[in-house]
Amino acid sequence: MREKRPGLMVYGPLIAFILGSAFPFYWSFLVASHDDAEFTANPSLLPGGNFFVNAGRVLDSIPFWKALGNSIIVSGTVTVSVVVLSSLAGFAFAKLRFRGRGPLLVFVVATLAVPTQLGIVPLYMAMAEFGWSGTLGAVIVPNLVTAFGVFWMRQYIADAVPDELVEAARMDGCSMIRTFWHVGLPAVRPAAAMLGVFTFMTSWNDFLWPLIVLNAENPTMQVALEKLQSGYYVDNSLVLAGTTMATVPVLIVFLVLGRQIVAGIMQGAVKG
Amino acid sequence: MTSELTVARGRGSQPRPPRRSDNDDSGGRAALGWRDRLTHLDVRFSPYLFIAPFFLLFAIVGLFPLLYTAYVSLFDWELGGDEQPFVGLENYVTLMTDSQFWNAMVNTLSIFVLSSGPQVVVAVLLAALLNTALRARTAWRMGVLLPYVASLVALTIIFANLFGPQYGLVNNLLELVGLDRIDWQAERWWSHVAIATMVNWRWTGYNALIVLAAMQAIPRDVYEAAVVDGASAARRFFSITLPMLRPTIIFVVVTSTIGGLQIFTEPKMFAPAGSSSGGSTNQYQTVVLYMYQSGFQSFDLGYASAMAWVLFVVIIAIAGINFLLTRRIASSGED
């Protein structure tokens, strides 16, 4: 069955959907590029010339660069850690034999359904006790490895790494960790990359816990945006200049890695 | 899945080299004995070391806090207070008669229903569009995924602006086409619609890609047979595609449950000026937002903990019902 090329009936709704998807971003930039009072009186669909003025005011209002740096440090550390530790555990679950492997893996999967976010009260008390509140460690450490990551890597490694290869490495006298390093790691690169992208985005967006445990002087990007918005007099141009500036890095990442993200979601769907 | 795990490396499946073969082909018994023992330890314990980080971390920052939440919920525990008197189940009793809590629970469920229903329908339609022989198909797929990557806080701020009661674009457009302006903040139902719109806007494209992947996994020959039998495109969609997508659709709904019931960022950032009350009469305050307000703005940690536990039980119950439902529907689909 050769399909014919789709026509306007397909492209029309798709274009409409994507325009709808992109519009809020454009709107944000639109408001950010005008003077607030003037824009309220005379809304327009064309960008104004005030963006850099508003951006400058954002830099005066919140520690923008610090927040950006903090978010990169937090998300970067969490991503590297989740990818490495999940690969290690996934490799063990997929390719190594040990007592209790089945039940332990079932346990990992079961924890996927546990809303651990609801444990924030004691977590906060613990962080305060250790003097960690306000530090980046408080938002990094709880996220160093995830059940999703372990399960995802386990599913991938089970198919991608031949048992014979593991066996051969063992016969050559490789220790477990070297077997992982030389046989496991090289094979998991595509899955690790996807896990990395997802972890980075999840961490970048994390809000409730950072809002509780961090403060306005040492925030992540999301917390800084919240502070920007929570002034008593809301200046839309100022706030949306902030959101625009915070969105640009994410959009760049998306343009570079979008293809992989799409592939990752679709591949994960088939496995799940 | 469990059965697959045990089969994956069953003992009898392949002839396996004898375990201690390296004993035979070399001399130096003493040295080997030592190395052997080391290898033995390595084989025996390394797997546990590899999986230990997850279990340790889960125990410390996942399981323990959840259990300790139950403990805290039995006390009148004020943040920074001098003493924390034990009050038994009093927090729970108060909670059960707290109209603000039930209000928040209804809001949460209302927003969840408003955001999962339409989302699935649109995602399936969108996936059907994407499943045609498009030119530059990756570009289209990236296009529908665009909302998913933007940061939630930023997006909510933008949507709060769009839905602004006085100067918001949505109201201006409504007026332009001759409809009444809507106070998207003050009116309970409409505030839920606005928040659900943000959720839908963000997740529909993502779910469309998941549904698309499932569509592409449907065998081609089923469609070919239907075409030969003279089934129209619409008929093929409703009689083949939709039934075969059922497990995926259920999967999408189930995965959105756990996150959807913990919705926080959207109602928090929808309110102006950093308020956590979810509107002047709590018209769009969700359970997690109320928990945040009680625990970290009113500093009543005991009460917030009780709330966390009730929500925890609700989520586990709903997830459990979902799970049973999924199993039944999935197995009835196979017959």
Domains and CATH numbers, chain B: 22-72 (no CATH), 90-334 (1.10.3720.10)
More confidently predicted of A2 and A124: A124
3-class SS shares of chain A: helix, strand, coil, % to 5: 75, 0, 25
> In a 3-state reduction of DSSP, which class is residue A223?
helix
Report the distance separating Cα A66 and Cα A70, nearest Å. 6
Instruction: Show residues of chain B in contact with A6, CB under 8 Å.
Output: 129, 132-134
Q: Is A27 in Cβ contact with B162 (below 8 Å)? A: yes
Q: How confident is the model at residue B335 (pLDDT cuts 50, 70, 90)?
A: very low
Of all helices (H) and strands (E), which one includes residue A62?
none
Report the distance separating Cα B86 and Cα B76, nearest Å. 6
Per the DSSP assignment, residues forming a β-bridge with B78 are: B300
The mean pLDDT of chain A is 87
Q: Which residues of A205-236 are buried (b: 16+ CB within 10 A; e: fewer)?
A: bbbbbbbbbbeeeebbbbbbbbbbbbeeebbb
- A26 contacts chain B (CB < 8 A): no
Q: Is B205 in Cβ contact with A21 (below 8 Å)? A: yes
Chain-centroid distance, C-alpha A110:
22
Instruction: Show residues of chain B in contact with A118, CB under 8 Å.
Output: 66, 69, 262, 291, 308-309, 311-312, 315
pLDDT for B268-284, tens place per residue? 998 877 788 888 899 99
φ and ψ at residue B179, rounded to 5 degrees: -95, 165
Is-contact B195 B270, C-beta < 8 A? yes
User: Angle at Cα A262 formed by Cα A259 and Cα A268, nearest 5°?
Assistant: 135
Q: Is A10 in Cβ contact with B262 (below 8 Å)? A: no
**Of B200, B161, B202, B206, nearest in space to B184 by CA:** B161
Query: Which chain A residue is nearest to residue B263, measuring alpha carbons?
Result: A208
Distances (CA, A) of B242 to B68, B84, B121, B174, B248: 45, 56, 11, 35, 10
pLDDT value of residue B4:
39
ipTM value, please give it.
Answer: 0.88
- A248 contacts chain B (CB < 8 A): no
More confidently predicted of A188 and A91: A91
Query: Over 50: is that where the pLDDT of A227 sits?
Result: yes
- In angstroms, the separation between the Cα of residue A65 and the nearest Cα of chain B is 16
Domains and CATH numbers, chain A: 1-62+234-248 (no CATH), 63-230 (1.10.3720.10)
Is-contact A182 A140, C-beta < 8 A? no
When mean pLDDT is compared across A189-193, B248-252, B307-311, the lowest value belongs to B248-252
pLDDT for B4-34, tens place per residue? 333 334 344 444 444 444 444 444 455 567 7
Size of interface A-B (CB pairs under 8 A): 294
pLDDT value of residue B327:
67
pLDDT value of residue B318:
83
